Amino acid sequence: MINSFQMRIHKLTLTIIIGACFACQPNESSQGNTFLEQVDGNTLGIQDDSLNLLFFNNPAKAQISKYSPVYSSVTPTGWMKDLMMEDLNQGVVGYLDQLFPGINNDDPFYTKRRGGFEDMPDMGDLILTGAAWEKSIFWWNAETTGNWWDGFVRHAYLCGDTLMQNKAKAIIEHLLEAQEEDGYIGIYKPNLRYQHEGANGELWAQTTACRTLLGYYTLTKDKRALEAVEKAMALTMEKYGPTGNNPFYLKDSFGGVTHGLMLTDVLEQLYQLTNNKAYQDYAVYLYYSFCRYPLNDAFNDLRYSKLVDRDSLFTGHAVHVYEHFRSLALAYQYTTYSELKAALDNGLSKLDVAMLPSGAGQGNEWLAGAVADPNFTAAEYCSMLELRNSLSMLGRTLDDVEFYEAAEKLTFNGMLGSRFPGGQSICYGKLDNCTVLDGKHHGQEDVTDDIRYKYSPTHSEPAVCCVPNYGRSMPYYLEEMWTQGADGLSLNMFGPSILNTSFDGQSIQIHQITNYPIGDTIKLIVQAETSNPMQLRVRIPTWASQDFEVLSAQQTTVENGYLLFNKLWNPMEEVILVFPSEANWVSFDAASYYLQKGPLVYAKPIDFEQDVIKTYDIDGFKDFFCLPTNLEDPSFKFDFEVVNPSISTVPNDKSFFNTALLVPAQGLDQEIDTNILFVPMAGTVLRQITFDE
């Protein structure tokens, strides 16, 4: 045991060590001035906000969703499997550990746990300057590694890739071996665990590791993984719970601390799997504790006191804002406090003004009190993933189809629109109207350096966070595609896939055969062991024309945005649905429009050439800018009242959405009509989406 005097000497020594390390570094951080100003300029003193939270003392009454996730029971087929296999076997999902040495050279969950600054990890291309926030970077590799594990393990099992499954199983065995006797899963040595005074990644690192273990459990039914997470949470709930230290009562806290609120993801899934109410209670406690202390103003927009004001705009770190919606929604669901419902409604109202045509929320790191602008406010990939996961969770908890539709739109447009064809790189931050990617932000008044604007398989200068989160995208989309309730199953989001589950004690398999979102036909093949009564709900897209068709002879009703089939299902039946869609100009603001058909946003592609700035030891992987070769002032105009495009294909297109629309336009320089090629946003690199009147 280290006594208090030894601890003070230890901290002094570490301060000298880290100061010497920083003194060797250049003055200019790889994060850019905007990042530093936002993080370091918003640290607040500790104060207790509990007087505004007295309603938490009222009796809580959980309102559990009628429909719950069917965890890891949906496997991809068709284009979804092709894309995931490409990412796994040729792209960043399968190769990130070889591209970024921090994953293989650092082992923060086991052999290289952090006990002080002498354990500073290899941060790749990150440049440190001695800024106050940098003492929190101990946890950065835990986020990179844990989130990559999560996406990689799920890809390997969902795609049925035996070789990759062996690698995934080795990851899990290593993580299980790392768990200590008392249940601890995390990145700190005993001298720091659960007794941090300031910035730390205690709960955040646990979140990334435990999400990986739970994903593996639901895919394999290996009970060791579930038991490991339960044991780890028992320790955390004791040490960082109502009778232990408060995880948010800290000085100089930064993003890792408030990322830790997302342990509520783990707690929600544990409750769904075990029905243990202790996980509900702890999820509420974490959100309450987060609201009680202000921490750092850059990371706390979803605190209750911030949400009382409906008319203010979000200012903080976009990823934190979008992910914290899940913690707030869960706290409301587990208590039904009217105050939390009002806070959630206010938060969603603030969210409206942040939404871009692609379905993404603006924020290339910071929301900064800005209103979404497709020309100047970009979206970070991490932000898109966390917003998408929050939207689908809200669809489930509030039983509201609009959130599912928004999640689907974001997945097929903003998120896939940041992936370079082939899956060997993504953009860290990208504009909807992305006319150039040259390592700079082209603002309304000036141009500033920002290395986030490029394609890369790592993005190791700002942080290796967006690439591992890309690997989590499709697995989590599949996980929220179906939900299950006491009366049956609900199909909430579409895509080629197979559901394997059980209902009323019988195995059920449903094949979803479709090329959605390009196509408008959904064919469901329902296979059951024996004849069985069951309700099947299918979301009706709001963009579908009123004359959608049910081609199979089925009696249906419409309720709450769903098409309902209540019937006795024979062992083998088909349901064929057609949701016709038309291309329409959608008003974004008072003066601009974008083209949407079904769930897809269409863009005018811009030809480009690559400017390679870095290569990797593995062929095909590189960092590069994309510079336009045909950027010119538009010499045409559209009739936004009417659009009647013809459908074509894109020659030599390598994307999964290779259809095109030939949209009629009027030439400005000559009195003739012309056709402008539009392609789905997911098939673009440089593009223009919005057009002015």
47 with 163, same domain: the answer is yes
CA distances from 642 to 138, 594, 597, 672, 689 (A): 55, 13, 13, 17, 17
Does 387 fall in a domain? no
Backbone angles phi, psi at 480, to 5 degrees: -100, 0
Does 327 fall in a domain? no
Does 620 fall in a domain? yes
Task: Show the domain range for 36.
Answer: 1-54+73-296
Q: 636: pLDDT confidence band, cut at 50, 70 and 90?
A: confident
Task: Report how far residue 352's alpha carbon sits from residue 359's, in angstroms, rounded to the nearest whole number.
Answer: 11
Instruction: Indicate whether 6 pLDDT > 60.
Output: no
Peptide bond into 517 cis (omega under 30): yes
162-178 and 223-239 are packed helices; what angle lies between their axes, rounded to 10 degrees? 40
574 with 593, same domain: the answer is no
- Centre a 10 Å sphere on the Cβ of residue 689 and count the other Cβ atoms it contains: 28
Average pLDDT (212-217) is 98
Q: Which of 39, 56, 43, 40 is nearest to 304 (CA)?
A: 56
Residue 3 pLDDT: 36
129 with 229, same domain: the answer is yes
Residues 6+ apart with CB under 8 A from 82: 656
- Measured in residues, the chain has a length of 693
Percent of the chain with pLDDT strictly greater than 90: 73
Least confident of 47-61, 173-187, 354-368, 645-659: 645-659
Give yes or no for a contact between 288 and 53, defined as CB atoms under 8 angstroms apart.
Answer: yes
Q: Which of 340, 274, 272 is nearest to 307 (CA)?
A: 340
Residue 203 pLDDT: 97
Average pLDDT (670-693) is 88
630 with 671, same domain: the answer is yes
Please give the structure tokens belonging to residue 322: 């979008």
Task: Report how far residue 506's alpha carbon sits from residue 37's, in angstroms, rounded to the nearest whole number.
Answer: 58
Instruction: Indicate whether 632 pLDDT > 80.
Output: no
Residue 122 pLDDT: 67
What does the H/E/C string look like for 527-560?
A: EECCCEEEEEEEECCCCCCCCCEECCCCCEEEEC
Give yes or no for a contact between 414 and 356, defined as CB atoms under 8 angstroms apart.
Answer: yes
Average pLDDT (518-539) is 92
Residue 516 pLDDT: 95
Residue 88 pLDDT: 98
CA distances from 441 to 377, 396, 466, 577 (A): 9, 37, 18, 44
Task: Report how far residue 380's alpha carbon sits from residue 386's, in angstroms, rounded to the nearest whole number.
Answer: 10
pLDDT in tens, 616-626: 999 999 999 99
Q: Who has greater pLDDT, 3 or 654? A: 654
Among the candidates 296, 317, 336, a domain finishes at 296
Q: What is the CATH number of the domain that holds 184?
A: 1.50.10
Instruction: Indicate whether 34 pLDDT > 90.
Output: no
527 with 620, same domain: the answer is no
Q: Who has greater pLDDT, 567 or 609? A: 609
Strand partners, 504: none
Report the Cα 466 to chain-centroid distance in Å. 9
Q: 657: pLDDT confidence band, cut at 50, 70 and 90?
A: confident
* CB-based burial, 133-166: b 16+ in 10 Å, e otherwise: bbbbbbbbbbbbbbbbbbbbbbbbbbbebeebbe
Residue 330 DSSP SS3: helix
pLDDT in tens, 477-518: 999 999 999 999 999 999 999 999 999 888 999 999 999 999
Residue 468 host element (H or E): helix 466-470
Average pLDDT (609-622) is 97
Among the candidates 296, 312, 343, a domain finishes at 296
What does the H/E/C string look like for 39-59?
A: HHCCECCCCCCHHHHHHHHCC
Average pLDDT (80-90) is 97
DSSP single-letter state for residue 77: -
97 with 221, same domain: the answer is yes
Task: Give the mean pLDDT of the chain.
Answer: 89
Least confident of 97-101, 404-408, 444-448: 444-448
Q: 129: pLDDT confidence band, cut at 50, 70 and 90?
A: low
Does 331 fall in a domain? no
Give yes or no for a contact between 678 and 603, defined as CB atoms under 8 angstroms apart.
Answer: yes
Does 444 fall in a domain? no
Task: Report how far residue 169's alpha carbon sits from residue 173's, in angstroms, rounded to the nearest whole number.
Answer: 6
pLDDT in tens, 545-559: 777 888 886 778 999
259 with 138, same domain: the answer is yes
Q: Who has greater pLDDT, 550 or 91? A: 91
Residue 633 pLDDT: 63
Among the candidates 250, 277, 296, a domain finishes at 296
Residues 6+ apart with CB under 8 A from 9: none
Residue 551 pLDDT: 85
Residue 666 pLDDT: 84
652 with 526, same domain: the answer is no
Q: What is the CATH number of the domain that holds 556?
A: 2.60.40
DSSP single-letter state for residue 454: S
Least confident of 6-15, 232-241, 539-548: 6-15
DSSP single-letter state for residue 632: -
| Long-range contacts (CB closer than 8 Å, 24 or more residues apart) made by 481-486 | 481/74, 482/70, 482/73, 482/74, 482/510, 483/65, 483/67, 483/68, 483/69, 483/70, 483/396, 484/67, 484/68, 484/69, 484/70, 485/66, 485/67, 485/68, 486/66
Does 459 fall in a domain? no
Using DSSP bridges, classify how beta strands 497-503 and 506-513 pair: parallel, antiparallel or unpaired. Answer: antiparallel
Does 323 fall in a domain? no
Residue 15 pLDDT: 33
212 with 276, same domain: the answer is yes
Task: Report how far residue 303's alpha carbon sits from residue 286's, in angstroms, rounded to the nearest whole number.
Answer: 11
Domain count, the chain: 3
Number of helices (H) and strands (E), helices first, in the chain? 19, 29
Instruction: Indicate whether 7 pLDDT > 70.
Output: no
Q: Which of 673, 681, 611 is nearest to 454 (CA)?
A: 611
607 with 538, same domain: the answer is no
Q: Who has greater pLDDT, 51 or 296? A: 51
Average pLDDT (583-591) is 92
Q: Which of 164, 152, 148, 156 is nearest to 109 (CA)?
A: 148
541 with 599, same domain: the answer is no
Residue 507 DSSP SS3: strand
Give yes or no for a contact between 585 and 595, defined as CB atoms under 8 angstroms apart.
Answer: yes
Least confident of 21-35, 90-104, 285-299: 21-35
Task: Report how far residue 380's alpha carbon sits from residue 687's, in angstroms, rounded to the nearest whole number.
Answer: 17
Report the Cα 77 to chain-centroid distance in Å. 22
Give yes or no for a contact between 87 and 79, defined as CB atoms under 8 angstroms apart.
Answer: no
Does 339 fall in a domain? no
Degrees to nearest 5, angle at CA 574 with 568 and 580: 120
Percent of the chain with pLDDT strictly greater than 70: 89
Q: Who has greater pLDDT, 431 or 693? A: 431
Residue 9 pLDDT: 26
Instruction: Indicate whether 654 pLDDT > 80.
Output: no
Task: Report how far residue 44's alpha carbon sits from residue 114's, in angstroms, rounded to the nearest whole number.
Answer: 26
Average pLDDT (445-450) is 92
Please give the structure tokens belonging to residue 572: 């083998």
* CB-based burial, 473-485: b 16+ in 10 Å, e otherwise: bbbbbbbbbbbbe
554 with 599, same domain: the answer is no
Residue 181 DSSP SS3: coil
